[in-house]
């Protein structure tokens, strides 16, 4: 095999068993597609049962090796059962990508309600923890594997009016680093991808709220964000998916505890909102 073939194969995921949470749409769907394109069997997990079955069918029609899994990451027993089923059916788990999360309804901290705080933390942070724990137990025993958590630039540079989401994503970053240290002796790698603005269904709902708080149109908001990105464009799901696939591959075999920001150069949105009428 020549050196070019060696380089190509280092990025392949042939015969790997991969699980991706939040895979019914947006970033998760893009990640599942890319891992499958690189040769992995991808178990696409999501709470939205009908939607995940439709998404898996879509990828299957592209001749990709995928399978839908119904999963609520806020239910630890459900998570443990799904991860155990993966090992029972496939013998191992090579790649576990924890992408599932929820956005926050825009609110200043002084008006942020308990239920909203708890909802965001429960799914975005605790749900990621639950999946990390289940994957870690498997990969520690098999002494191999790659865990990739999806955070956000908000976890590094908080945006106003999204405290619960900021804190949840910052927690995901810290969780990843901690787990990378605990699993290093077993040859298991744990890394984080921190996406910038990608115009998914997830981002559209948050964007609409921000437009209302600033009194501008959606088109104006889209353009404002675009101009703030040094590379001059919004991200695509594929941009994030390729970074995840790299971290999952042998090409990243000496990387653990790393945080890769994929944001077109944008470090975060830290603008202070205007005074509110009282």
We report the CATH number of the domain holding residue 172 as: 3.40.50.720
The verdict on 144 and 203 lying in the same domain is no
110 and 192, same domain (yes or no): yes
Largest distance between two CA atoms of the chain: 70
User: Which pLDDT score, from 0 to 100, does residue 216 have?
Assistant: 73
95 and 210 together in one domain: no
pLDDT of amino acid 261: 98
Please indicate, yes or no, whether residues 225 and 156 belong to a single structural domain of this protein: no
Q: Per the residue annotation, which of 11, 165, 186, 199 is the catalytic one?
A: 165
Say yes or no: 56 and 97 in one domain. yes
3-state secondary structure the chain: CCHHHHHHHCCCCCCCEEEEECCCCHHHHHHHHHHHHCCCEEEEEECCHHHHHHHHHHHHCCCCCEEEEECCCCCHHHHHHHHHHHHHHHCCCCEEEECCCCCCCCECHHHCCHHHHHHHHHHHHHHHHHHHHHHHHHHHHHCCCEEEEECCHHHCCCCCCEHHHHHHHHHHHHHHHHHHHHHHHHCCEEEEEEECCECCHHHHHHHHHHHHHHCCCHHHHHHHHHHHCCCCCCECHHHHHHHHHHHHCHHHCCCCCCEEEECCCCCCCCCCCCCCCC
Give yes or no for a contact between 92 and 138, defined as CB atoms under 8 angstroms apart: yes
Q: Is the domain of 228 the same as that of 90?
A: no
pLDDT attached to residue 120: 98
- Residue 270 located in a structural domain: no
Note whether residue 60 is domain-resident: yes
Residues spanned by the domain of 39: 3-196+236-261
Look at residue 257 and tell me if it is in a domain. Answer: yes
Instruction: Tell me the CA end-to-end span of the chain in Å, nearest whole number.
Output: 70
Task: Please check whether residues 153 and 67 belong to one and the same domain.
Answer: yes
Q: Are residues 148 and 218 in the same domain?
A: no
Residues 201 and 151 in one domain: no
Tell me if residue 11 is catalytic. no
Q: Do the bridges between strand 189-195 and strand 95-98 make them parallel or antiparallel, or are there none, so unpaired?
A: unpaired
> CA 239 to CA 128: how far, in whole Å?
22
256 in any annotated domain: yes
What is the total count of domains within the chain?
2
What pLDDT was estimated at residue 270? 67
Looking at residue 207, its pLDDT comes to 67
pLDDT at residue 243 in the model: 98
75 and 154 part of one domain: yes
Q: Is 67 within a domain?
A: yes
Within a domain: 57: yes
Mean pLDDT by runs of 10 across the 278 residues of the chain is 62 97 97 98 98 98 98 98 98 98 94 98 98 98 98 95 97 98 98 93 68 71 88 95 98 98 89 76
Task: Assess if residue 271 is contained within a domain.
Answer: no
Beta bridge partners of residue 191, listed in sequence order = 148
147 shares a domain with 116: yes
Per the confidence metrics, is the pTM higher than 0.95? no
Shared domain for 216 and 96, answered yes or no, is: no
């Amino acid at each position: 095999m020549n050196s070019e073939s060696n380089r190509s194969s280092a990025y392949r995921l042939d015969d790997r068993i991969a699980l991706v949470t939040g895979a019914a749409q947006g970033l998760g769907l893009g990640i599942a597609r890319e891992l499958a394109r690189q040769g992995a069997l991808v178990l696409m997990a999501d709470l939205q049962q009908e939607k995940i079955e439709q998404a898996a069918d879509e990828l299957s029609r592209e001749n990709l090796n995928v399978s839908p899994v119904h999963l609520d990451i806020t239910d630890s027993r459900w998570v443990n059962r799904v991860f155990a089923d993966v090992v029972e059916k496939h013998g191992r788990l090579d790649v576990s990508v924890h992408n599932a999360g929820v956005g926050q309804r825009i609110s200043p901290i002084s008006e942020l309600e308990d239920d909203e705080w708890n909802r965001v933390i429960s799914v975005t942070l605790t749900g990621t923890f639950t999946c990390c724990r289940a994957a870690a137990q498997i990969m520690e025993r098999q002494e191999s594997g790659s865990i990739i958590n999806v955070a956000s630039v908000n976890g590094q540079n908080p945006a106003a009016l999204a405290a619960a989401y900021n804190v949840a994503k910052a927690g995901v970053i810290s969780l990843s680093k901690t787990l990378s240290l605990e699993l290093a002796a077993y040859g298991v790698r744990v890394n984080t991808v921190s996406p910038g603005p990608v115009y998914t269904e997830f981002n559209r709902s948050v964007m609409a709220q921000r437009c209302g708080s600033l009194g501008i149109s959606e088109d104006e908001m889209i353009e404002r964000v675009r101009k703030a990105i040094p590379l001059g464009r919004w991200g695509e799901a594929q941009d994030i998916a390729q970074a995840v696939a790299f971290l999952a591959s042998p090409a990243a075999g000496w990387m653990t505890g790393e945080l890769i920001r994929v944001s077109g150069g944008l470090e975060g949105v830290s603008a202070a909102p205007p005074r509110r009428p009282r």
